[in-house]
């Protein structure tokens, strides 16, 4: 099992990574961040993406999609990818991993695969 600090460092090794955060979507607070704050304010991104996660959770509830879990949410910008991955481990419930990638340097499929591996190993 990886600690929060180790998970953040592992995510920043992903090709094209700009920044990463582990976020509590109940409060919108980042439990930990790592990355280039000159390109992206990770605390603002954490709070804003909390709204995205909450909205999707509400929508799934309204659609009675109880037997489904969100694997990840992708937001594609012209120069960046933003990946949101809710934690499914027992200790990670209510948290999500947020990863911002430089679109020109990232391999989206590999980034999703690596973030899934990190999510499975994180111990909060």
Cβ proximity of 112 and 119 under 8 Å: no
pLDDT confidence of residue 55: 94
Please give the torsion angle defined by the CA atoms of residues 84, 32, 26 and 94, in that order, rounded to the nearest 10 degrees.
60
The domain segmentation of the chain, as residue ranges, is 4-121
Backbone phi and psi for residue 81, each to the nearest 5 degrees, phi listed first:
-110, 140
CATH topology of domain 4-121: Beta-Lactamase (3.30.450)
pLDDT confidence of residue 37: 75
pLDDT confidence of residue 2: 74
For residues 10 and 107, what is the distance between their CA atoms, to the nearest angstrom? 16
Q: What is the pLDDT of residues 43-100, one digit of tens each?
A: 999 999 999 999 999 999 999 998 888 999 999 999 999 999 999 876 667 899 999 9
Q: What is the pLDDT of residues 34-58, one digit of tens each?
A: 997 777 999 999 999 999 999 999 9
pLDDT at residue 22 tops 90: yes
pLDDT higher at 1 or 62? 62
Cα angle value 70/37/118 (rounded, 5°): 35
């Amino acid at each position: 099992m990886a600690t929060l600090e180790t998970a953040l460092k592992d995510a920043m090794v992903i090709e094209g990574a700009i920044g990463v955060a582990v976020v509590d979507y109940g409060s919108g607070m980042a439990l930990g961040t790592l990355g280039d704050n000159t390109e992206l304010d990770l605390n603002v991104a954490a709070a804003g993406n909390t709204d995205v996660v909450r909205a999707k959770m509400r929508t799934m509830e309204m659609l009675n999609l109880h037997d489904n879990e969100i694997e990840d949410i992708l937001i594609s910008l012209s120069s960046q990818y933003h990946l949101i991955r809710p934690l499914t481990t027992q200790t990670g419930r209510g948290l999500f991993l947020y990863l911002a990638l430089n679109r020109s340097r990232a391999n989206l499929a590999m980034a999703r695969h690596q973030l899934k591996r990190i999510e499975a190993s994180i111990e909060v």
